[in-house]
Amino acid sequence: MPGTSKIRNALLCATIVGLVSGCSLIPDMTTPAMPVAKTWPQGPAYDSSKTKPQEDIADLGWNAVFQSPQLQHLITTAVQNNRDLRIAALRVESARAAYQITESDLYPQINGTGSRTRSRTPAELSSSGRAITASQYSVGVGVTAFELDFFGRLRSLETQALEAFLATKEAQIDAQIALVAEVANAWLTLQADNRQLRLTKETLASRQASLDLTTARFRNGVATQLDIAQARTALETARVNLAMYTRAVAQDRNALEILVCTPLQDADVADLDAPFTDVVTVPEIGVSSEVLLRRPDIREAEHQLRAANANIGAARAAFFPSISLTGNLGVASTKLGSLFEGASRSWSFGPEISVPIFTAGRNQANLDVAKADRDIAVATYEKAIQTAFKEVANALAARKTMIDQLDAQKNLVASSQDSLDLSQARYDRGISSYLDVLDSQRSLYSAQQTQIDLERAQLTNLVGLYKALGGGITSSDAP
């Protein structure tokens, strides 16, 4: 009956769909709890007066954090040209293609075929007792070994490939954040060494003037040869530092050019008279450590964990039968002219089932490997969170203490300057020796050097905080 035939066809289609969709043997997975405190550390090293975030750094564009126009230009150039970032982007494309390959296994692969064969049967094998030469033509479409994913093996592999692709995408984002931070640190190092070089040149000029004055005083019988030797020692020390900082500036420039992949212009180096401490601004953050879950490296570890969990489903499916279909529909004839006549139609259909009976422990070993890889991924995920927590906590501790340290260092520079002025005045009046002046000069020069290093360290710490909190990867005004 026609109605019965339609019902039978509908049931057949439903059965096929059920076989193809299959079931999933992937274990249920819940993201492990954060193995760190829910809030940031508290204590004298931390500024606990801020309890609410002004803005989420992960949502800020990097140009809202890095204020210098020169630095913004260099970061833009690096993002466009850097080879490491380009490699990371190509890895994403490779992972995307690998996922598409795995996904295609869920669908039948239909191929068109066409052939012409010509054969000769010798007389001894021919039923007519004569040698026979025959030709055969065939055209058709067919499916070869299409696996019915009844136990979810292919679906598990597809899920694993998808999570691997997403992990690679997060790795690309992490690479871009790291590049932005690396460019900023390299630029800050160049600026600091340029300031050290300028300070050393000023110190060298001052000590040259002191040597000239001491020499004149010696000719007038006021100073001694020891005073001249001490002044020359101070001068040569400044020359040693001049060569050191000249080399450092050149090397810093080379390192920055490698990152941006283009020669630096003079305009890329900021005005040395501009405030050095205002080029990096990071807003206050809240007390909750859950913001770490937005870091791309932690999201990457989570996707890798989900991929490892999906592999368990594929390993479990190997214990069950595998069903595949092979079929072909077409036409065949011994004559090309009659190939497409009704009587020349041909078809073939061949389901195949494979049942694992004895594998010498291979399937169980594969399952054990998959479970161990999942456990490794769990530990890796938890370690990534612990590392991130430590990085943020250290940056927060340094943020407040460096402000206090820098304020004290500025006071030390001012005191050292007063000490030098007094020592010089006492020496001019003959009250103290020139050694007191040299000691004051060395103390002032050392204090000024330390102040520049602290200013750079404070900004570098802010860059580290920006990176540790998963800072924004694009410019705020980017489309």
Tens digit of each residue's pLDDT (9 = 90 or more) over 102-150: 888 888 888 888 877 888 778 777 777 788 887 777 787 888 888 888 8
Taking residues 218-236, report their average pLDDT.
Answer: 88
Residues 159 and 76 in one domain: yes
> What sign does the CA torsion over 422, 427, 431, 435 have?
positive
pLDDT for residue 438: 86
What does the alpha-carbon distance between residue 373 and residue 400 come to, in Å, rounded to a whole number? 41
Cβ count near 31 (within 10 Å)? 11
pLDDT for residue 383: 95
pLDDT for residue 340: 65
Residues 211 and 335 in one domain: no
Q: What residues form DSSP beta bridges with 120?
A: 133
Residues 226 and 370 in one domain: yes
Give 17's pLDDT tier (boundaries 50, 70, 90).
very low
User: 4-13, 155-164, 215-224 — which is least confidently predicted?
Assistant: 4-13
Contact between 119 and 133 (Cβ < 8 Å): yes
Q: In what order do the strands lie in the sheet with 110-121?
A: 110-121, 132-148, 322-333, 345-354
Residues 159 and 228 in one domain: yes
Percentage of the chain modeled with pLDDT above 90 = 40
Give 63's pLDDT tier (boundaries 50, 70, 90).
confident
Question: Who has greater pLDDT, 475 or 208?
Answer: 208
pLDDT for residue 9: 47
Q: Measuring CA to CA, which residue among 104, 93, 86, 85 is closest to residue 165?
A: 93
What does the alpha-carbon distance between residue 217 and residue 225 come to, in Å, rounded to a whole number? 10
Residues 313 and 250 in one domain: yes
Alpha helices in 330-361 (DSSP H): none
Segment 416-426, tens digit of pLDDT: 999 999 998 99
Query: What is the phi/psi pair of residue 352, to 5°?
Result: -140, 135
Q: Measuring CA to CA, which residue among 189, 269, 223 is closest to residue 430?
A: 223
Residues 415 and 344 in one domain: no
Query: What is the phi/psi pair of residue 278, to 5°?
Result: -110, 10
Residue 3 has pLDDT above 60, yes or no: no
CB within 8 Å of 39: residues ≥ 6 apart: 287, 288, 289
Q: What residues form DSSP beta bridges with 111?
A: 142
Residue 54 has pLDDT above 80, yes or no: no
CB within 8 Å of 169: residues ≥ 6 apart: 92, 95
What does the alpha-carbon distance between residue 50 and residue 40 come to, in Å, rounded to a whole number? 12
What does the alpha-carbon distance between residue 324 and residue 345 come to, in Å, rounded to a whole number? 24
Give 244's pLDDT tier (boundaries 50, 70, 90).
very high
DSSP 59: G
Q: Which residue has the tokens 């760190």?
A: 36
Residue 204 has pLDDT above 90, yes or no: yes
Cβ count near 201 (within 10 Å)? 15
Taking residues 20-48, report their average pLDDT.
Answer: 82
* Tokens representing residue 38 in the block: 């829910």
Cβ count near 322 (within 10 Å)? 17
In a domain, 43, yes or no: yes
Residue 28 has pLDDT above 50, yes or no: yes
Residues 378 and 252 in one domain: yes
Give the CATH number for residue 346. 2.20.200.10
In a domain, 395, yes or no: yes
Q: What residues form DSSP beta bridges with 349?
A: 327
Taking residues 358-377, report their average pLDDT.
Answer: 92
Q: What residues form DSSP beta bridges with 333?
A: 137
pLDDT for residue 195: 93
Give 235's pLDDT tier (boundaries 50, 70, 90).
very high
Taking residues 368-375, report their average pLDDT.
Answer: 94
Segment 377-409, tens digit of pLDDT: 999 999 999 999 999 999 999 988 999 999 999
User: 46-55, 123-132, 195-204, 377-386 — which is least confidently predicted?
Assistant: 46-55
Question: Who has greater pLDDT, 19 or 358?
Answer: 358
> What sign does the CA torsion over 248, 254, 258, 259 have?
positive
Give the CATH number for residue 239. 1.20.1600.10
Residues 462 and 373 in one domain: yes
Residues 172 and 125 in one domain: no
**What distance, in Å, lies between the first and last C-alpha atoms of the chain?**
63
Taking residues 165-170, report their average pLDDT.
Answer: 94
pLDDT for residue 115: 78
Query: What is the phi/psi pair of residue 279, to 5°?
Result: -85, -15
Give 431's pLDDT tier (boundaries 50, 70, 90).
confident
Taking residues 438-447, report their average pLDDT.
Answer: 91
In a domain, 28, yes or no: no
Segment 260-307, tens digit of pLDDT: 988 888 777 766 666 777 788 888 787 888 888 889 999 999 999 999
CB within 8 Å of 254: residues ≥ 6 apart: none
* Tokens representing residue 374 in the block: 């999942």
- 3-class DSSP assignment, residue 221: coil
Residue span of the structural domain in which 115 resides: 110-148+330-355
How many domains are contained in the chain? 2
- 3-class DSSP assignment, residue 403: helix
Cα–Cα separations (whole angstroms), residue 179 to 169, 259, 261, 395, 479: 15, 8, 12, 19, 20
Tell me which range, 37-46, 64-73, 181-190, 313-322, is most confidently predicted by mean pLDDT. Answer: 181-190
Question: Who has greater pLDDT, 331 or 208?
Answer: 208
Residue 247 has pLDDT above 90, yes or no: yes
Residues 291 and 410 in one domain: yes
Cα–Cα separations (whole angstroms), residue 274 to 95, 271, 458: 46, 5, 17
Residue 69 has pLDDT above 60, yes or no: yes
CB within 8 Å of 160: residues ≥ 6 apart: 102, 307, 308, 310, 311, 314
In a domain, 2, yes or no: no
What average pLDDT does the chain have?
84
In a domain, 12, yes or no: no
In a domain, 42, yes or no: yes
Taking residues 169-189, report their average pLDDT.
Answer: 93
CB within 8 Å of 453: residues ≥ 6 apart: 192
Residue 10 has pLDDT above 60, yes or no: no
Q: CA angle at residue 303 from 300 to 304, to 5 degrees?
A: 85
Q: CA angle at residue 253 from 249 to 257, to 5 degrees?
A: 175
What does the alpha-carbon distance between residue 380 and residue 15 come to, in Å, rounded to a whole number? 42
Whole-prediction pTM = 0.82
In a domain, 181, yes or no: yes
In a domain, 11, yes or no: no
Q: Measuring CA to CA, which residue among 249, 253, 257, 214 is closest to residue 235?
A: 214
Residues 337 and 451 in one domain: no
Residues 61 and 166 in one domain: yes
Residue 257 has pLDDT above 80, yes or no: yes
**What does R_g of the chain's alpha carbons equal in angstroms?**
38
